[in-house]
């Protein structure tokens, strides 16, 4: 069991948007960095768009950030892509036996704890911005910061799988 990779892919996407020249971050380019299909990326940018984090228009190349990464928390992204539904991290078995004292009350007894546990997890995400993640990326790369990263990230890298190419 694990949470959908839509979440980290969305973060990856936002970081790429922040370091890309306008009009260059197409779904195909992003897909080549994530190493997936452009449609998968469009599905995600669609969700990010509906959440107001990103903007794109049919026919015009690239998505654009609508807020600086400093103003986007991981929780914003997590919710935008619906990584885990509200109060749905844990599931209690449904229809336990109502004729048994335990079966009758187990759901009500467990739910508050499950909610609290999920909240604790989400609070950690809330306390980290995408900018912080981007900072870690550039740190790992041994660079000074986002600006430096922007200068180096290749506009159309060769994919590990089938390279989309720009012929």
Partner DNA sequence: TTTATTGAAACCATTGTAGTTACATTCCAT
Partner DNA sequence: ATGGAATGTAACTACAATGGTTTCAATAAA
Helix (H, G, I), strand (E, B) or coil at 16: helix
| 97 near DNA, judged by CB under 7 A | no
Contact 76, 53 (CB under 8 A): yes
The residue from 21, 58, 108, 140 that contacts DNA (CB under 7 A) is 58
SS3 45: helix
Give the closest residue to 31 by CA, choosing from 165, 136, 167.
Answer: 165
Q: Residue 56 touches which of DNA, a copy of itself, none (CB < 5 to 8 A by kind)? A: DNA
Binding mask of the shown chain, residues 53 to 82, with x at each position contacting a copy of itself by CB under 8 A: ---------------------x--------
Of 70, 71, 141, 147, the one binding a copy of itself by CB under 8 A? 141
Alpha-carbon separation of residue 63 from 23, 28, 97, 140, 142 (angstroms): 7, 11, 51, 26, 27
Q: Applying CB under 8 A, does 103 fall inside the site for a copy of itself?
A: yes
Whole-angstrom Cα distance, residue 28 to residue 91? 37
Pick one of DNA, a copy of itself, none as the site partner of residue 149 (Cβ within 5 to 8 A by kind).
a copy of itself
Size of the site for a copy of itself (CB under 8 A): 71
Say if CB 15 and CB 74 are below 8 A apart. Answer: no
Could you list the residues that contact DNA (CB under 7 A)? 1, 4-6, 26-28, 36-40, 42-43, 45-46, 49, 56-63, 91, 93
């Amino acid at each position: 069991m694990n949470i959908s990779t839509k979440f980290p892919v969305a973060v990856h996407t936002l970081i790429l948007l922040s370091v890309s020249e306008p009009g260059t971050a197409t779904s195909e380019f992003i897909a080549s960095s994530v190493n997936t299909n452009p449609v998968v990326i469009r599905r995600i940018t669609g969700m990010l768009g509906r959440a107001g984090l990103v903007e794109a228009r049919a026919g015009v190349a690239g998505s654009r950030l609508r807020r600086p990464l400093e103003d986007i928390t991981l929780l914003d992204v997590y919710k935008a892509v619906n990584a885990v539904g509200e109060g749905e991290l844990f599931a209690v078995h449904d229809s336990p036996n109502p004729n048994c004292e335990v079966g009758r009350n187990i759901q009500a007894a467990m739910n508050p704890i499950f909610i609290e546990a999920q909240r604790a997890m989400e609070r950690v995400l809330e306390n980290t911005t995408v900018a912080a993640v981007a900072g870690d990326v550039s740190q790992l790369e041994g660079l000074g910061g986002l600006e430096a990263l922007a200068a180096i990230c290749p506009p159309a890298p060769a994919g590990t799988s089938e390279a989309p190419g720009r012929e």
